[in-house]
Amino acid sequence: MKAEMIVFSGSSHPGLAERVAQRLGKPLGKSHSVKFTNENIMVRIGDNCREKDVFVIQTSSTPVNDHLVELLIFLDAIKYASAGRVTAVIPYFPYCRSDKKDEPRISVAARLMADLIQTSGAARVLTMNLHSPQIQGFFRIPVDQLLAAPIFFEYFDRVLFKEERKEDFVLVMSDAGAAKAFGYYSDELKLPVAIIDKFRPDHSEKPIIRQVIGDVRGKACLIIDDEIASGGTLIEAAEKLAEEGAKRVLAAAVHPVLSGNAVERLVKSPIERIIVGDTVPVRDKIQGHEDRFEVLDLSPLFARAIECIHDGASLSELFPPSVRRRH
Ligand code: R5P
């Protein structure tokens, strides 16, 4: 007999977890999380998990380190509650930009996160648009990486390519990494690509744009990135594109981290509209500036992926063929 499914939410993104649970047609499992005055966190599971197929949804949002530790404790509590299998559903992966040792005496922190998540009891991980594909290889358990592309493509078709002729658009990859990671956008949308030649001289979150490679003059430029953190990349890129004669500048990014005063800075930039996913809570951050942001609900993809994992079905069916090759 197939194990019963039960889905829990950590405290990082209850809104997304609720929408996923609604789509699955089940209430979220009961749990209670406490942070004591000494900053220690306790999680108590309120439902029987014995032999069940358990999913815990917890993203990497502010306060990142608290939410990370809460996830680890959640997984551990479920493991000790005799779950049959535990899947950590991590829409935005913690420390994902620390994915390589490119300086002396630093940690590859994303690999450390993988170790911690496995040690805490996860038997599988479900995540979305990893900053780099090698993060999957940091695990010794199965990692399913969803790509938000189908939901972004649906919005582009339904809205952007209705406002303006599709052939007037150019996809602008925010750097060489984005060009590699999002190559399938151009295959699927059949649009030309330009690339921002960007480098980071230090850790100040102030990227330097050397040039735009490709033709953007008179075009509607849609910048593509995996995440927006300080907003520096998008702002610098947009200013450069405007200088180079772009007709309009828009941006699309899966993970709207929007740290510090990113929103205030972005709304002063030449970017007309910023299309983001909801892998982290974003509504409060953009309050008062809703006209400049479009938030896409990614819960349908997470819900369908959870169903596939539970049923032992392939996740490839969730993506069009050119996207399927990359997930
Ligand atoms: C960088 O490698 C990423 O793809 C993003 O461009 C970066 O994380 C964005 O960060 P920020 O908004 O701080 O420039």
Q: What is the CATH number of the domain that holds 171?
A: 3.40.50.2020
Please report which confidence band the pLDDT of residue 202 belongs to, taking 50, 70 and 90 as the band edges: confident
Question: Could you tell me where the DSSP H helices lie in the chain?
Answer: 14-24, 64-80, 109-119, 134-137, 149-155, 161-163, 176-181, 183-189, 232-243, 262-267, 299-311, 321-324
Higher pLDDT, 29 or 325: 29
Q: Which atom of ligand 1 is nearest to the CA of 257?
A: 12
User: Do 271 and 312 share a domain, yes or no?
Assistant: no
Residue 80 has pLDDT above 90, yes or no: yes
Helix or strand run (H / E) with residue 228: strand 220-228
User: Do 154 and 139 share a domain, yes or no?
Assistant: no
CB of 280 shorter than 6 A to ligand 1 = no
Tokens linked to 306: 């959870």
> Helices (H) and strands (E) in the chain — how many of each?
12, 14
On average, the pLDDT of the chain sits at 96
Sign of CA dihedral 27, 136, 59, 327: negative
Please report which confidence band the pLDDT of residue 321 belongs to, taking 50, 70 and 90 as the band edges: confident
CB of 227 shorter than 6 A to ligand 1 = yes
Q: State how beta strands 41-45 and 31-35 pair.
A: antiparallel
CB of 132 shorter than 6 A to ligand 1 = no
CB of 276 shorter than 6 A to ligand 1 = no
Mean pLDDT of 103-116: 97
User: Do 157 and 268 share a domain, yes or no?
Assistant: yes
User: Do 265 and 319 share a domain, yes or no?
Assistant: no
In tens, the pLDDT along 250-273 reads: 999 999 999 999 999 999 999 999
User: Do 103 and 202 share a domain, yes or no?
Assistant: no
CB of 231 shorter than 6 A to ligand 1 = yes
- Residue 2: the pLDDT is 87
Q: Which of 227, 230, 266 to mutate to test the pocket of ligand 1 (most atoms within 8 A of CB)?
A: 227
Residue 104 has pLDDT above 80, yes or no: yes
User: Do 168 and 291 share a domain, yes or no?
Assistant: yes
Instruction: Determine contact, residues 85/93, Cβ cutoff 8 Å.
Output: no
Q: Which of 131, 185, 228, 280 to mutate to test the pocket of ligand 1 (most atoms within 8 A of CB)?
A: 228
Mean pLDDT of 105-134: 97
Beta bridge partners of 198: 209
User: Do 291 and 153 share a domain, yes or no?
Assistant: yes
In tens, the pLDDT along 129-160 reads: 999 999 999 999 999 999 999 999 999 999 99
Please report which confidence band the pLDDT of residue 327 belongs to, taking 50, 70 and 90 as the band edges: low
Distance CA 66, CA 12 (A): 9
User: Do 141 and 260 share a domain, yes or no?
Assistant: no
Mean pLDDT of 94-110: 96
Number of other residues whose CB lies within 10 A of the CB of residue 288: 9
Q: Whose CA is nearest to atom 5 of ligand 1?
A: 227
Q: Tell me how far the alpha carbon of residue 230 lies from the centroid of ligand 1, in angstroms.
A: 8
**Residues whose CB falls within 8 Å of the CB of residue 217, separated by 6 or more in sequence, listed in order:** 244, 245, 246
The total number of structural domains in the chain stands at: 2
First to last CA, the chain: 30
- Residue 22: the pLDDT is 98
Please report which confidence band the pLDDT of residue 322 belongs to, taking 50, 70 and 90 as the band edges: confident
pTM above 0.75, yes or no: yes
Q: Is it true that the peptide bond before 192 is cis, omega within 30 degrees of 0? A: no
User: Do 172 and 272 share a domain, yes or no?
Assistant: yes
Q: Tell me how far the alpha carbon of residue 158 lies from the centroid of ligand 1, in angstroms.
A: 27
Residue 24 has pLDDT above 90, yes or no: yes
CB of 265 shorter than 6 A to ligand 1 = no
The catalytic residue positions are: 198
User: Do 36 and 130 share a domain, yes or no?
Assistant: yes
Residue 284 has pLDDT above 70, yes or no: yes
User: Do 166 and 205 share a domain, yes or no?
Assistant: yes
What residue numbers bound the domain in which 205 lies? 149-295
User: Do 163 and 288 share a domain, yes or no?
Assistant: yes
Q: Tell me how far the alpha carbon of residue 129 lies from the centroid of ligand 1, in angstroms.
A: 13
Length, in residues, of the chain: 327
* Torsion angle of C-alpha atoms 254, 259, 264, 267, degrees rounded to 10: -20
Q: Tell me how far the alpha carbon of residue 206 lies from the centroid of ligand 1, in angstroms.
A: 10
Q: Whose CA is nearest to atom 10 of ligand 1?
A: 229
CB of 174 shorter than 6 A to ligand 1 = yes
